[in-house]
Chain A
């Protein structure tokens, strides 16, 4: 590793202070640990990739005299392009987080009371293995479910497949991007995948529908967004809230929440009626265009105006603007799209609009992801499950192509199609991710085993029988990231510093658990080095090379049609399906239709939620650096409405939803930046887990107020923007 030596320009206080590595881990003085180096300091750099969110940006971590100092972007990495987002930069705080779990815990009192005793790893894993053996014997292996988020779940998935369960799910499907990928798959035969295959940097017109880039800090996307702005791209933003992105827009459409479908249909109507769509593209690649044209004929801008609140002139102007720049005209598919329960169809409408603009497969539209060939580590075949997955019995949701967390929860509650008796939860705070917390709690109460792997004592950890403390990403190896992206590459996560206490990496936990279950044959390697080295050697690459650079990049391949990529559409017709026979046969609308949303009851506002750039979900609120950037969330309320109702910015209120659920106190942000019929808050706050220190009871939780949800009939996604709240001043 390169060793740098730096000196400080101004010496104004003493340098670094040592931190006790294990035991007595009290909140360290971060500012002293992160002081700029003084002469003689030993600076070491280690390339790795970030895990504060799922984007997996390449990073270079710095240590100073053996202590973690700072993290920067790896210039060789195509995702970060040398620059991390605030969360990645603040990743240092995850290591020093005073709220971290430090040892395996075994429940002492009732579930949810957060009373545990510290146990050894051997005791903790032995307890889990014993319970899992009983569950397997009594109910079959399918009665264990794994909830897992992110690349760190790879080895647990392997262990659970070896154990014999097909019930492996993540909220990133049914509570996030699942409907989007189903909608695009039904249209183009492929999903949008992650990182999104959007060519934002070359888009000459970029349309964002509720997608709040900049607040939604997906690094590459935001970097490309800024690049597009610099190049003068025309930006159209549709959002009930004047988002950061809206402030960059040429056209801002303050749409009534829940009516995006009407706008999308009207836009398509204009493109077709005024013959502004990409005709040669549609003729060559389209299927069912005439039937589609007939279906959308009634949806004029005048039809959409009273529904959406967007004037016919604005609808026409923006449709023409999109068409002017086609095919480099990108209508962004969004990511967290589980809004109203018709989300797969709305996503399909977005896909169709892109099809009319000819942007799929074109520069400034959508590229086709490519990857490098790195074989998996060989292992014995997994046992077949006789009973199949439990989350979607009888294919009730015929187009679900991923496992449904809420389906597993339902099976746990009902015992149908068969009982689920154990949950193993890796790196996902289901209490804040799933709608209707009460259902989740009831499901957990009926379990024989509940295990949570986490880095902090989150709400979901509070309900566990056994809590396993994980090393954070800067302290561990993970599986290789062999990414599907516009530029193929392999990235390595490797430890920068040691874990401060008795935390362990996921691969170690998964392998030790497998051994105790008699499944050691599925982990036929001695340590993670051997695993990574073998995988890389099989692909013709070197671990030493990757350890030094963090990234190995592959050869450029064609990712657009005009670069030589062969246009292929993996739909039943082999074409872009403007009219979907498979939807029609399954009893759904072959061309999307508009369903009006429910109106808020008097005195209520629709509850909308989103992201802040310095936080990831509900997992960063205890990170001292990121907490300082945003300590609590606020409820955005239109300033005129606030004045009328007598609320002022900074006042604490409680939100009460239509089912009588009352939130923690949350500050009002009276602002012109939102419509009067909805309120907005950033997701991830309002923690109720007692071990979360300063984050405990700070701000309010949208998840707590999402007692209602509309299930997407196509694929089982949870539409969550269907709750209404009133505000009550906190005494």
Chain B
């Protein structure tokens, strides 16, 4: 069974936010909210600076606290790709998942349910990449099966330096940032 994840090459990303706009036009993300976003992390003092640019979103963790804490089962792991999804009709909007997510990846949709990145599964089942990946002008994002050792994402993780976000949280996030 596939275990979907993403690899994002921070050395190519230019923080243009095309991934954010594409997510909003592809999915129904209400005004003022977003499922993905850009972080520019600056270290050092002028002019000796380093900056890492990351397109961030739900990590579809292997060990998702949002699923563990959900009282209704709305937040769940989908068999297809083992992604973390929310069934809006079942969600009661209690926000336990928002509090439990160390990545602040969720928001409450104006219609009252928790919402977040789906890895664009409606596209993936059609054989397309998630909208953010497909649109990126720098081609810095890769989507695929982390359990397939021959997938591009697996090969990139093996061959390049990188990191995940907050590994110490124990969530086993599935988005890898190349540096």
Does A511 sit within 8 A of B, measured CB to CB? no
Cα distance, A30 to B17, chains bound together (Å)? 18
Cβ contact within 8 Å between A86 and B16: yes
Q: Provide the main secondary structure of the chain A interface.
A: mixed
**Which B residues are CB-close (under 8 A) to A563?**
none
| A248 close to B121 (CB less than 8 A) | no
How near does chain B come to A227, taking the closest CB pair, in angstroms?
A: 8
- Chain A residue with the shortest CB-CB distance to B136: A83
- Asked if A30 and B113 sit within 8 Å, CB to CB, the answer is no
Contact B139 A226 (CB under 8 A): yes
Contact B16 A13 (CB under 8 A): no
Measured between beta carbons, the chain B residues less than 8 angstroms from A226 are 12, 14, 137-140
Would you give the shortest CB distance from B157 to chain A, in whole angstroms? 16
Picked from A214, A672, A673, the residue with its CB within 8 Å of the CB of B15 is A214
Q: Mark A28-42, 1 if CB is under 8 A from B, else 0.
A: 001110111000000
Q: How many angstroms from the CA of A186 to the CA of B108 in the assembled complex?
A: 60
Total cross-chain contacts (CB, 8 A): 164
The answer to whether B21 and A222 have CB atoms under 8 Å apart is no
Partner of B115, one of A12, A225, A630: A12
In the bound assembly, the distance between CA atoms of A293 and B134 in angstroms comes to 50
Q: Is B49 interfacial (CB 8 A cutoff)?
A: yes
For B14, what are the chain A residues with a Cβ–Cβ distance below 8 Å? 213-215, 222, 225-226, 244-245, 613
Q: Closest CB-CB distance, B87 to chain A, in whole Å?
A: 7
B168 on the A face (CB < 8 A): no
B88 touches A12 (CB 8 A): yes
How far is it, in angstroms, between the C-alpha of A227 and the C-alpha of B12 when the chains are bound? Answer: 8
Interface residues of B in 1-41 (CB under 8 A from A): 9, 11-12, 14-18, 20-22, 24-32
**Cross-interface CB contact of B47 among A213, A229, A242, cutoff 8 Å:** A242
Q: Answer yes or no: B122 CB below 8 A from chain A CBs.
A: yes
Q: Mark B135-154, 1 if CB is under 8 A from A, else 0.
A: 11111100000000000000
- Is A512 an interface residue, CB under 8 A from the partner? no
The residue on B at minimum CB distance from A223 is: B137
Chain A, Cβ-Cβ closest to B29 = A31
Q: Which of B32-60 contact A (CB under 8 A)?
A: 32, 42, 44-47, 49-51, 53
> Are A247 and B50 within 8 A (Cβ)?
yes
Verify if A557 is at the interface (C-beta below 8 Å from B): no
Chain A residue numbers with a CB within 8 Å of B137 are: 83-85, 217, 219, 222-223, 226
Docked complex: A31-89 residues within 8 A CB-CB of B: 31-32, 34-36, 69-73, 83-86, 89
Q: Which of B95-149 contact A (CB under 8 A)?
A: 109, 111, 113, 115, 118, 121-122, 124-126, 134-140
A90 contact from B21, B42, B113, B136, Cβ within 8 A: B21
Report A569-617 residues with CB < 8 Å from chain B CB.
613-614
The reply to whether the CB of B85 lies closer than 8 angstroms to some CB of chain A is yes
Q: Distance (Å) between the CB of B46 and the closest chain A CB?
A: 5
Q: For the complex, is A340 an interface residue (Cβ under 8 Å from B)?
A: no
CA separation between A624 and B21, bound complex, in Å?
11
Q: Does A628 contact B (CB under 8 A)?
A: yes
Query: Given the complex, which residues of A lie within 8 Å of B24, measured CB to CB?
Result: 31, 34, 625, 628
B21 — which chain A residues lie within 8 A by C-beta? 86, 89-90, 614, 625-626, 629
Q: How far is the CA of A252 from the CA of B109 in the complex (A)?
A: 43
Which A residues touch B26, using CB under 8 A?
A: 34, 36, 70
By a CB distance below 8 angstroms, the chain A residues around B118 are 9-10
Specify the chain A residue showing the minimal Cβ separation from B122.
A9
Given contacts A10-B118, A223-B138, contact A31 B16 (CB under 8 A): no
Task: Give the distance in Å from the alpha carbon of A34 to the alpha carbon of B25 in the complex.
Answer: 5
B51 touching A13, Cβ below 8 Å:
no
User: Closest CB-CB distance, B120 to chain A, in whole Å?
Assistant: 8
Q: Is the CB of B125 within 8 A of A628?
A: no
Interface size for B (C-beta < 8 A) is 51
Assess the B125–A9 pair: CB atoms within 8 A. yes
The verdict on A110 contacting chain B, using a C-beta distance below 8 Å, is no
CB of A17 to closest CB in B, whole Å: 11
Complex contact A671–B42 (CB within 8 A): yes
Residue of B with least CB distance to A30: B31
Write the nearest CB–CB distance from B52 to chain A, whole angstroms.
Answer: 8
Which of B47, B109, B113, B135 is in CB contact (< 8 Å) with A89? B135
Contacts of A213 in B (CB 8 A): 14
Q: Determine whether A674 belongs to the interface, using a CB cutoff of 8 Å to chain B.
A: yes
- Asked if A254 is at the interface of the complex by the 8 Å CB criterion, the answer is yes
By a CB distance below 8 angstroms, the chain A residues around B45 are 672
**Complex: how many Å from CA A731 to CA B46?**
30
Query: CB distance A625 to B25 under 8 Å?
Result: yes
Contacts of B50 in A (CB 8 A): 247
Asked if A629 and B20 make an inter-chain contact with CB atoms under 8 angstroms apart, the answer reads yes
Is A6 touching B25 in the complex (CB atoms < 8 A)?
A: no
Are A89's CB and B122's CB within 8 A?
Answer: no
Query: Does A92 touch B at the CB level, under 8 Å?
Result: yes
Residues of B within 8 A of A70 (CB): 22, 25-26
Q: How far is the CA of A69 from the CA of B22 in the complex (A)?
A: 11
Q: Is A198 interfacial (CB 8 A cutoff)?
A: no
A338–B28 Cα distance when bound, in Å, is: 42
The answer to whether B49 touches A31 (Cβ under 8 A) is no
Q: Complex: how many Å from CA A674 to CA B47? A: 8
Would you give the shortest CB distance from B17 to chain A, in whole angstroms?
Answer: 5
Q: Whose C-beta in chain A lies nearest to the C-beta of B119?
A: A9
Q: Is the CB of A242 within 8 A of B46?
A: yes
Does A326 sit within 8 A of B, measured CB to CB? no
CA distance A227 to B137 in the complex (A): 10
A84 is contacted by which of B113, B135, B138 (Cβ under 8 Å)? B135
Q: Please tell me if the beta carbons of B138 and A673 are within 8 angstroms of each other in the complex.
A: no
**How many whole Å from A297's CB to the nearest CB in chain B?**
30
Give the distance to chain A from B79, nearest Cβ to Cβ, in Å.
12
Given A89-B21, A629-B21, A672-B42, A217:B138 Cβ within 8 A: no
Complex partner residue of A92 from B25, B32, B125, CB under 8 angstroms: B25
Q: Which of A226, A614, A638 has the most CB of B within 10 A?
A: A226
Q: From A37, which residue of chain B is reached at the shortest CB distance?
A: B122
Q: Are A86 and B18 in contact (CB under 8 A)?
A: yes
When the two chains form their complex, are residues A13 and B11 in contact, meaning their CB atoms are under 8 A apart? Answer: no
- Besides A10-B85, A13-B109, A254-B47, 12 other A-B contacts (C-beta < 8 A): A36-B26, A72-B135, A85-B18, A85-B137, A222-B138, A223-B138, A230-B12, A244-B14, A613-B15, A625-B21, A638-B46, A673-B42
The 4 closest A-B pairs by CB, nearest first: A214-B14, A226-B138, A12-B88, A613-B16
Q: Please report B residues at the A interface, Cβ cutoff 8 Å.
A: 9, 11-12, 14-18, 20-22, 24-32, 42, 44-47, 49-51, 53, 85-89, 109, 111, 113, 115, 118, 121-122, 124-126, 134-140
Chain A residues in the interface with B (C-beta under 8 A): 6-10, 12-13, 30-32, 34-36, 69-73, 83-86, 89-90, 92, 213-215, 217, 219, 222-223, 225-227, 229-230, 242, 244-248, 252, 254, 613-614, 624-626, 628-630, 638-640, 671-675
Residue contacts A-B, CB under 8 angstroms, 29 given = A9-B122, A10-B88, A12-B109, A12-B111, A13-B88, A13-B111, A32-B28, A34-B27, A35-B27, A36-B27, A70-B22, A72-B134, A73-B135, A83-B18, A83-B135, A84-B18, A86-B20, A90-B21, A219-B137, A226-B12, A226-B14, A230-B11, A244-B51, A244-B53, A252-B49, A614-B21, A628-B31, A629-B17, A630-B17
